[in-house]
């Protein structure tokens, strides 16, 4: 097992949960509350130097009792050592964990993807929006186990929504505010956008 696990136990004691080796990779569980400080230690601490964030993802098991797991794959370019840090999130509570964007810019899109696919929120993320699905996507978080393979809405409903989608939904509020056109859009629409009602799908007129 990777000696980093012992170093973590010495420094953080109770914050470090169980550790395991699977297929040659070392996995260590960390309490959600301590994630940031553990990551700072792993990135900058002496003899650690896990400076390369390989991947951030999440795992939800088929067993509904098991917590959802955040997975952080780290690699030390200098020492060529691997470490997988995991955080368990109880599904009965709010799924929230510290963002790692202050440590690694590369975490930005990876965390957005986890938010999009699993609904985990990242405290301190500068721009937590959906990334692969569109911003007004209303069916939930696709990689959750309770999400059916073919989606929540029927095909007819998906087509109806696509046809009725509001073109203004193609630009975010932030983007519209850049454009000159912002001053020219009707006051009523501007107000609606500011209230965050953007992309609400209008009922078709004939129904």
Chain residues that interact with another protein, rule: CB under 8 A: 22-25, 27, 51-55, 57, 59-63, 71, 73, 77, 80, 82, 84, 104-110, 113, 117, 130-134, 142-143, 147, 149, 171-172, 174-175, 178-181
In the complex, least distance from residue 133 CB atom to another protein, rounded to whole angstroms: 6
Q: Select 78 or 159, whichever has its Cβ closest to another protein.
A: 78
Q: Which is nearer to another protein, 33 or 44 (CB)?
A: 44
CB-wise, 25 or 33, nearer to another protein?
Answer: 25
Min CB(92)–another protein separation in Å:
20
Is the CB of 41 or the CB of 104 nearer to another protein? 104
The secondary structure of the chain as a DSSP string is: --THHHHHHHHHGGGEEEEEEETTEEEEEE-GGGHHHHHHHHHHSTTT---EEEEEEEE--SSTTSPEEEEEEEEETTTTEEEEEEEEE-TTS--EEE--TTT-TTHHHHHHHHHHHH--EEET-TT---SSS-TT--S--TTSTTS-TT-SS-HHHHHHHHHH--GGGGS-HHHHHHSGGGGTS-HHHHHHHHTT-TTPPPPPTT-
Find the shortest distance in angstroms from Cβ 203 to another protein.
26
């Amino acid at each position: 097992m990777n000696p980093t696990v012992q170093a973590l136990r010495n420094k953080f004691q109770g914050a470090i949960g169980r550790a395991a080796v699977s297929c040659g990779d070392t996995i260590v569980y960390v309490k959600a509350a301590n994630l940031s400080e553990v990551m700072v230690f792993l990135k900058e601490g002496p003899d650690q130097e896990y400076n390369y964030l390989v991947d951030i993802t999440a795992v939800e098991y088929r067993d509904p009792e098991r917590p959802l797991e955040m997975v952080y794959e780290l690699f030390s370019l200098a020492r060529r050592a691997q470490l997988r840090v995991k955080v368990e999130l109880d599904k009965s509570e709010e799924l929230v964990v510290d963002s790692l964007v202050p440590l690694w810019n590369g975490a930005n899109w990876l965390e957005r993807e986890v938010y999009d696919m699993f609904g985990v929120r990242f405290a301190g993320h500068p721009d937590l929006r959906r990334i692969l699905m569109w911003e007004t996507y209303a069916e939930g978080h696709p990689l959750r186990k309770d999400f059916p393979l073919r989606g929540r809405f029927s095909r007819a409903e998906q087509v109806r929504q696509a046809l009725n989608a509001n073109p203004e939904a193609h630009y975010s509020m932030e983007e519209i505010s850049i454009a000159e056109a912002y001053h020219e859009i009707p006051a009523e629409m501007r107000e609606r956008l500011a209230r965050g009602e953007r992309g609400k799908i209008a009922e078709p007129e004939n129904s």
